[in-house]
Amino acid sequence: MLSILADCFAQDSVTISKIKALNEKAENFLLKEKSLSSYYTIDNNGISIYESPEHKIKGMHEFYVNVNKIEEFKLFLRNSSFAQQADMYKRGSYDNSVQEKINDSKISVSIPNNSKANTIKNLQGLRIAIDPGHIAGNMEMGNIEKKCLTFKCFGPDGTVDSIAIAEGMITFATAQLLKEKLEREGAEVFMTRTFNNSSAFGITFDEWLKTDYIKTVDSLYKTGKLSLSQKQFFLSSKASKRDKFRVIFKDIELAKRAELINNYKPDFTIIIHYNVDENNTGWTKPAGKNFNMAFVGGAFMKNDLSSPEKRFEFFRLLISDDIEESIELSSAVIKNFEKKLNVKTATVKDALYLMEGCLLTDEPGVYCRNLQLTRYIHGPLVYGETLYQDNIGECVRLNKELDKTKNERVQQVAEAYFQGVLSYVKNKH
Ligand SMILES: [Zn+2]
């Protein structure tokens, strides 16, 4: 009898500390907008999420996991497909009646059975996804995306550089170089874009306009995402390429990136971006600032729980270790950015969006931010924002070489990501 009581007590104290930790995690990493706490409960019974604060008052959950099933649910998240997870969410609670294959598939570098040290590869057996940010492989596309710099930069010695950089060019070159390095160490690498100027649809934006644009506008209208007058506007000659990109293409293309990555089921994902100074709007002249930072999931703001899809991702980020793992990976990468690029790590005071749109983690330069990709990509990730492209020194360095894989600065960035990945993987074992 006494031992049963002791067992109960031990179990209760484990449960209590688990509940406390989850409540703290929600507050520290997930709730940028504190009032969003009226969408969930974490207590002795388990974790529930609600469609609205009114549904919470009425006790009508949208999804629920019993407190004793949390660990099992984590394994389910790790080992099931996106479709299986969506299906489970629709059912309203986690149950294991569907026999999912549950096996602990934590990152494990399977070192080949070979005694010769020089043949052992550090990343053998790992699946890594890389997302090279944006699309532009030329300045025309860079202009449509509004992710490019064109200005003259006057050097102190009287030299003049005509700067022409599209972010998509340098993210793609960085990804190519990084892919080679990772593969040389035995990793299997998946890229969301496979050629310069390509989108996640496997074609350029111009090709997409020809083949997919009209049917996409149609389906957005049919699903209520566009009004009749919007549909008429976007199918008329009044809609510019920029309008079509911004309103119709951009979000569905980002969704495609997340879908491709989730289908691939990587051990982790690297999302590559280069930054600019937010106060240098228009980017028609160089500026002085230069920092590195990285984003992971979390920091939900007002309206960020407005659909079942978004609420499911909130729930996943709360229960899984994706945020914790992402912080670890991102921190390893950030440290190498600072070391290899000789550029400082951003503090929260260095950009307004870090203060207003992010939550701090314990790791310098790593911030929770609810971006479309940090929300929808499952598993550990690093969303890197290296270097300010419009910095007076960086723009000149990044401007060199037409083939950006030959650009020395881009090569250093790829090496920094690579070293970050190596040290993250090494720390896991
Ligand atoms: Zn970017």
Percent of the chain whose predicted confidence (pLDDT) is above 70: 92
Quick one: pLDDT band at residue 7, thresholds 50, 70, 90? low
Distance 427 CA to ligand 1 centre (A): 29
pTM listed for this prediction: 0.92
Distance 383 CA to ligand 1 centre (A): 10
Residues 399-425: pLDDT tens digits?
Answer: 999 999 999 999 999 999 999 999 999
Question: How far apart are alpha carbons 45 and 17 in whole angstroms?
Answer: 14
Distance 153 CA to ligand 1 centre (A): 22
In DSSP terms, 268 is beta-bridged to: 128
Distance 290 CA to ligand 1 centre (A): 15
Q: Ligand 1 is a single-atom ion; what residues have CB below 5 A from it?
A: 133, 273
Set out the domains of the chain in order of their start, with CATH numbers.
2-91 (no CATH), 117-212+250-427 (3.40.630.40)
- List Cα–Cα distances, 285 to 43, 148, 281, 282, 290, in angstroms: 54, 12, 9, 8, 14
Distance 183 CA to ligand 1 centre (A): 25
Which of 127, 47, 139, 131 lies closest to 94 in space, CA to CA?
47
Residues 23-42: pLDDT tens digits?
Answer: 999 999 999 999 999 999 99
Distance 68 CA to ligand 1 centre (A): 41
Distance 134 CA to ligand 1 centre (A): 6
Distance 148 CA to ligand 1 centre (A): 10
Quick one: pLDDT band at residue 4, thresholds 50, 70, 90? low
Angle at 171 between CA 428 and CA 407, to 5 degrees: 105
Distance 167 CA to ligand 1 centre (A): 7
Distance 133 CA to ligand 1 centre (A): 6
